């Protein structure tokens, strides 16, 4: 029983590390795509993806973008695995939300 618990704990830690590292790699890939298109002022604030995304070759990711006071949440389709594939493809699927801030400081 102790070995099984240790094995489950090690597998959980390994998957947790993979999950976090996957997020970092995907965020960097989205930022690189934005820079290639000349959108260097757009910043990726946060990304959200499913729990099983690091285990599949296709994922739908929600990314929050910020541009000079305007925030947008977009859906991004990722084909290929950012850790294990030589080539990945990122496609913008659609806009989920757009928030504009107006004020004296903006």
Q: What's the pLDDT tens digit per position in 68-91?
A: 888 999 999 999 888 888 888 988
Distance CA 25, CA 2 (A): 35
Please tell me the total count of domains within the chain. 1
User: Rounded to 5 degrees, what are φ and ψ at 71?
Assistant: -115, 140
Task: Please list the residues that pair with 61 across neighbouring strands.
Answer: 76
DSSP H/E element including 97: strand 89-100
| Alpha-carbon separation of residue 69 from 7, 54, 99, 105 (angstroms) | 47, 31, 8, 10
Q: Is residue 74 part of a domain?
A: yes
Q: Is residue 84 part of a domain?
A: yes
Q: Is residue 105 part of a domain?
A: no
pLDDT at 103 over 80: no
Q: Is residue 48 part of a domain?
A: yes
**Domain carrying residue 18:** 2-100
Q: Is residue 106 part of a domain?
A: no
Q: What is the pLDDT of residues 34-48, one digit of tens each?
A: 899 888 889 999 999
Q: Is residue 63 part of a domain?
A: yes
């Amino acid at each position: 029983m102790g070995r099984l618990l240790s094995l489950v704990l090690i597998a959980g830690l390994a998957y947790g590390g993979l999950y976090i590292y996957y997020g970092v790699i995907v965020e960097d890939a989205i930022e690189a795509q934005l820079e290639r298109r000349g959108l260097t002022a757009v910043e990726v604030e946060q990304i959200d993806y499913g729990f099983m995304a690091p285990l599949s070759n296709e994922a739908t990711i929600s990314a929050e973008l910020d541009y000079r006071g305007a925030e947008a949440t977009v859906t991004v389709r990722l084909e290929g695995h950012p850790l294990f594939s030589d080539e990945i493809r990122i496609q913008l699927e659609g806009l989920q939300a757009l928030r504009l801030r107006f004020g004296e400081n903006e």
